[in-house]
Amino acid sequence: MSSNTVKPALYKAGSTPDPEHSMTQAPKATRRETLKLAGAGLAAASMAEAAPAASNSPSTLTFPEVDRTLTDTHHVAEGFKAQVLLRWGDPLFGDAPAFDPLAQTADAQKKQFGYDCDFIGFMPLPKGSRSSTSGLLCVNHELARSKLMFPGTPKQLDPNRNKEMADIEMASQGHTVIEVALRDGTWEVNRNSKYNRRVSGFDTVIELTGPVAGHARVKTKDDPTGRKVIGTFANCAGGETPWGTVLIGEENIEHHFGGDPRGTSEEANHAAMGLTENVYYNWNKYYPRFDMSVEPHEPNRFGWMVEIDPYDPTSTPKKRTALGRFKHEGAGFAFAPDKRVVVYSGDDEVFQFIYRYVSRNPWKPGDDKNNRALLDDGTLYVAQFDAKGAITWLPLVWGEGALTPANGFNDQGDVLIETRRAAKLLGATPMDRPEEIVPNPVTGTVFVSLTKNSKRKDTDFANPRAKNKFGQIHELLPPGHDQGKPDHAALRFQSRPFILAGNPADPDSGAQYHADLSTRGWFTNPDNMTFDAQGRIWLSTDGGTDFGYADGLWAADVTGPGRALSRAFFTGPRGSELTGPCFTPNGASLFCSVQHPADDDGSTFDTPSTRWPDFDPALPPRPSVVVITRSDGSLIS
Ligand code: FEO
Ligand code: CA
Ligand code: CA
């Protein structure tokens, strides 16, 4: 069915439909039951307050909705189990030490699952197969939250954190590759797999590739070649490439650099990326390269997309500079009709932009040499919306338009290092914090999550609410999408709203959903998204605690009579953010990351608001990967 032809009734805030009117039965009595599951000592599941599926719902989704919660633990729709598979500190290698939170070291952390899990990629084993029972789990570790990681750390971050703590913070970020397998209905990790790997901010050597490799503005005292960077961090979302690698974003890099950049050659550039002397980590105290007054080029070596080959643990990860430098959320892959590779990526900050990269050459199946160069040679574009939602993709090419020496751009390297400034000069449309941009492989359209922008005054087609606290999901329409041939490389797209988030019962929210939305179905602050084999959207949220409930996972049809009828599937423990939803190819297992549990007011390592997932007085709360399956192992729907 053409997604263009679907025009469901929208439930707008302030209109009067009964949000429960599609419910044919009253919700069941509350039931909460925690089950301990067998398997590797890692399993736990929760079944929670669940509403029954409506028999006459226009949605194709059948799971009973989970209630809106704010509790110490997670809750999944009735009939499903949620197994905690990987926790911060879990050993990833046969020789890795057990997690000891009172005596943590950087050496231990380098061999253990990192902090703040985010993006998840499931890469089947063997490579190239469609296995849904054996694979490599590729997981980002976004940030280190010192107050929840170290005993005795006060609520406000202590600038006197010692060097070992700084090293642990570096080692806890980056990426994990670990082999996993489904056995007798339970997922297990294989600590002895040859594929297991930690890429970290501490000591992993990463190669700069593309137009910025070797550029004068990425050369440093430690690396006069401008080609070898130590580490990656702030790794938020990501994407899987068609050739079996993952591409991970470097997002909020401003936390990691200290020292005063004013008066250096990079003063304006660093200001544009939010890099100031006010620093979250104090790594600059122990490592001069993180001091911008000493090494102003070092931040130019971060803010890129990093490609990792999980099937080759000896491979050198690559920072693909042709995709631009900004606060990359993730990477959404699609093919143009001629098989050129297209990568969508958002810059997650208020009034920043959405981007699209198009490779010069087409992908050739089986030609690894050709395919691995696709991300080094191509054109980066930024989106400009008109008043009716039509998009023009503006190329960021040196020498064209305003991108000339007169404006301080002396080569393509300058354009890419200062992508934000280049995009603004071209007239890109400032957005409400672009998070993920993910092509839907079934509909051929592209979904953009815009998480919020309370600073917005002037509104436009894609950012239609001033003081936007709730966020929205916008749908980009490449030409040909309604004939099954979307041209993701076209220079002009159309677009339309999908959902304006918020609580539609609040007439001031401006929220818009399907008219049959239940009181559980609304959400705020959409962030990561994925699509199941039917093309339905599954999305996680970041910010629900601001509205008195925990973040979670919601799902909705994107076409047909159930379009934009979102339904609540999973909620996390208090203080957590849900990230990284990822299905196995058969749609029967759904992985997601529970990031920073207990990251709420007053919580510290010593006095957390929850000790999820272990609930052991000797253990702190631990960011963890959860895998959700239906109790009988059938499709998640
Ligand atoms: Fe790390 Fe944009 O969320
Ligand atoms: Ca995110
Ligand atoms: Ca976020």
* 358-375 pLDDT, tens digit each: 999 999 998 888 987 999
Rounded distance between C-alpha atoms, residue 531 and residue 514, angstroms: 19
Pocket flag, ligand 1, residue 435 (CB < 6 Å):
yes
Pocket flag, ligand 1, residue 169 (CB < 6 Å):
no
156 pLDDT exceeds 90? Answer: no
140 pLDDT exceeds 60? Answer: yes
Residues 117 and 86: beta-carbon distance below 8 Å: yes
Rounded distance between C-alpha atoms, residue 633 and residue 156, angstroms: 45
pLDDT digits (tens, 9 = 90+) for 443-492: 999 999 999 999 999 999 999 999 999 999 999 999 999 999 999 999 99
Rounded distance between C-alpha atoms, residue 495 and residue 501, angstroms: 17
pLDDT digits (tens, 9 = 90+) for 588-636: 999 999 999 999 988 999 999 999 999 999 999 999 999 999 989 999 9
Measured from the alpha carbon of residue 433, the closest ligand is 1
Query: How sure is the predictor about 53, in pLDDT bands with cuts at 50, 70 and 90?
Result: low
Residues with CB under 5 Å of ion ligand 3 are 527, 542
For residues 52 and 472, the model is more confident at 472
CA of 436 to the centre of ligand 2 (A): 7
pLDDT at 381: 99
Residue 581 vs residues 24, 37, 117, 359, 511: alpha-carbon distances, Å: 30, 22, 11, 27, 24
Ligand 1: which atom is nearest the Cα of residue 142? 1
For residues 132 and 47, the model is more confident at 132
Which of 224, 135, 127, 226 lies closest to 178, judged by CA? 135
Which of 249, 301, 299 lies closest to 277, judged by CA? 299
Share of the chain above pLDDT 90, in %: 87
The residue type of 514 is H
Residue 185 vs residues 37, 39, 81, 399: alpha-carbon distances, Å: 10, 9, 10, 57
Query: How sure is the predictor about 55, in pLDDT bands with cuts at 50, 70 and 90?
Result: low
DSSP secondary structure letter of residue 149: H
Residue with tokens 């815009």: 450
Pocket flag, ligand 1, residue 436 (CB < 6 Å):
no
The residue type of 294 is V
394 pLDDT exceeds 50? Answer: yes
Pocket flag, ligand 1, residue 329 (CB < 6 Å):
yes
Pocket flag, ligand 1, residue 142 (CB < 6 Å):
yes
Which of 388, 390, 358 lies closest to 375, judged by CA? 358
The token duo for 308 is 């990792």
For residues 29 and 514, the model is more confident at 514
16 pLDDT exceeds 60? Answer: no
CA of 183 to the centre of ligand 2 (A): 31
For 370-383, b where at least 16 C-beta lie within 10 A, e where not — what string? ebbbbbbebbbbbb
CA of 365 to the centre of ligand 3 (A): 34
52 pLDDT exceeds 60? Answer: no
Pocket flag, ligand 1, residue 348 (CB < 6 Å):
yes
Ligand 1: which atom is nearest the Cα of residue 435? 2
pLDDT at 48: 32
Which of 589, 484, 464 lies closest to 533, judged by CA? 589
Residue 513 vs residues 69, 562, 593: alpha-carbon distances, Å: 21, 10, 26
Query: How sure is the predictor about 45, in pLDDT bands with cuts at 50, 70 and 90?
Result: very low
Share of the chain above pLDDT 70, in %: 91
Pocket flag, ligand 1, residue 551 (CB < 6 Å):
no
The residue type of 473 is I
- Which residues contact residue 254 at a Cβ distance below 8 angstroms, ignoring those fewer than 6 apart? 273, 274, 275, 276
Rounded distance between C-alpha atoms, residue 525 and residue 451, angstroms: 4
Pocket flag, ligand 1, residue 556 (CB < 6 Å):
no
pLDDT at 579: 98
Least confident of 27-41, 124-138, 180-194, 477-491: 27-41
Residues 300 and 191: beta-carbon distance below 8 Å: no
DSSP secondary structure letter of residue 60: S
CA of 400 to the centre of ligand 3 (A): 33
- Burial status of residue 68 (CB atoms within 10 A of its CB: 0-12, 13-18, 19 or more): buried
57 pLDDT exceeds 60? Answer: yes
Measured from the alpha carbon of residue 551, the closest ligand is 3
* CA Rg value for the chain: 23
pLDDT digits (tens, 9 = 90+) for 297-335: 999 999 999 999 999 999 999 999 999 999 999 999 999
Rounded distance between C-alpha atoms, residue 553 and residue 624, angstroms: 15
Pocket flag, ligand 1, residue 266 (CB < 6 Å):
no
pLDDT at 602: 86
Q: How many other CB atoms are there within 10 angstroms of residue 512's CB atom? A: 22
In whole numbers, what is the pLDDT of the chain averaged over residues?
Answer: 91
End-to-end CA distance of the chain: 20
Between the CA atoms of 111, 115, 116 and 122, what dihedral angle is there, to the nearest 10 degrees?
A: 10
- Burial status of residue 263 (CB atoms within 10 A of its CB: 0-12, 13-18, 19 or more): exposed
Q: What is the mean pLDDT of residues 337-344?
A: 98
CA of 313 to the centre of ligand 3 (A): 29
pLDDT at 12: 64
DSSP states along 381-440: EEEEE-TTS-EEEEE--TTSTT-SGGGT--SHHHHHHTHHHHHHHHTPPP-B-EEEEEE-
Residues 419 and 324: beta-carbon distance below 8 Å: yes
pLDDT at 6: 35
Three-class SS state of 321: helix
For residues 624 and 38, the model is more confident at 624
36 pLDDT exceeds 70? Answer: no
Rounded distance between C-alpha atoms, residue 204 and residue 119, angstroms: 19
pLDDT at 161: 87
Pocket flag, ligand 1, residue 117 (CB < 6 Å):
no
580 pLDDT exceeds 50? Answer: yes
CA of 439 to the centre of ligand 1 (A): 18
pLDDT at 219: 98
Query: How sure is the predictor about 56, in pLDDT bands with cuts at 50, 70 and 90?
Result: confident
Q: What is the mean pLDDT of residues 517-531?
A: 98
H or E stretch including 507?
A: none
Query: How sure is the predictor about 234, in pLDDT bands with cuts at 50, 70 and 90?
Result: very high
CA of 618 to the centre of ligand 1 (A): 30
Ligand 1: which atom is nearest the Cα of residue 433? 2
Which of 446, 449, 528 lies closest to 490, judged by CA? 446
Rounded distance between C-alpha atoms, residue 378 and residue 362, angstroms: 10
CA of 348 to the centre of ligand 3 (A): 8
CA of 513 to the centre of ligand 3 (A): 22
Query: How sure is the predictor about 1, in pLDDT bands with cuts at 50, 70 and 90?
Result: very low
pLDDT at 153: 79
Ligand 1: which atom is nearest the Cα of residue 346? 2
- Burial status of residue 586 (CB atoms within 10 A of its CB: 0-12, 13-18, 19 or more): middle
Ligand 1: which atom is nearest the Cα of residue 252? 1
pLDDT at 262: 96
Q: What is the mean pLDDT of residues 285-304?
A: 97
Cα 326 → chain centroid? 15
Rounded distance between C-alpha atoms, residue 275 and residue 389, angstroms: 33
DSSP secondary structure letter of residue 549: S
Pocket flag, ligand 1, residue 347 (CB < 6 Å):
no
49 pLDDT exceeds 70? Answer: no
Query: How sure is the predictor about 278, in pLDDT bands with cuts at 50, 70 and 90?
Result: confident
Q: Whose CA is nearest to atom 1 of ligand 1?
A: 236
Q: What is the mean pLDDT of residues 555-562?
A: 98
Pocket flag, ligand 1, residue 236 (CB < 6 Å):
yes
